[in-house]
Structure 1
């Protein structure tokens, strides 16, 4: 159960990155506006759908250590993506 919760929660966090990355690429003028806005819309809808499904099966319970591990893994991934993106842009 804990590994399923970890995977599901991390997936729920990660699916929300698509619209954010599309917006970032659009504002950096690395992606055409129309393409970025389509990606934002699709990513937002997918994020809402996935998170609703995960929340139905695994309600949030931050008393469980696995919740914190999933959040920490997400933060590390976001920091890593940010560092790589900034290294590529400069």
Structure 2
């Protein structure tokens, strides 16, 4: 039996196939707790469905944590990796 490489690969991070928002919220709550703050439902709009930089900014704001010395890499823009093209 012959197989061929897939024509495309889909990475779903917005809930279309897999609901990751619950995990994102739980992780944000754990990070905040580790910094001595308890996130409540009022914090959810600032965390759930937002970019990493937005969530980080909110966590820094509510916890008083010191921001990292340099900003995190961008979460949007052109892909940094491209699939090899068939020859």
TM (norm. structure 1) is 0.35
Structure scoring higher RCO (CA < 8 A, sep ≥ 6) equals 1
TM (norm. structure 2) is 0.36
Q: Which has the higher helix share?
A: 1
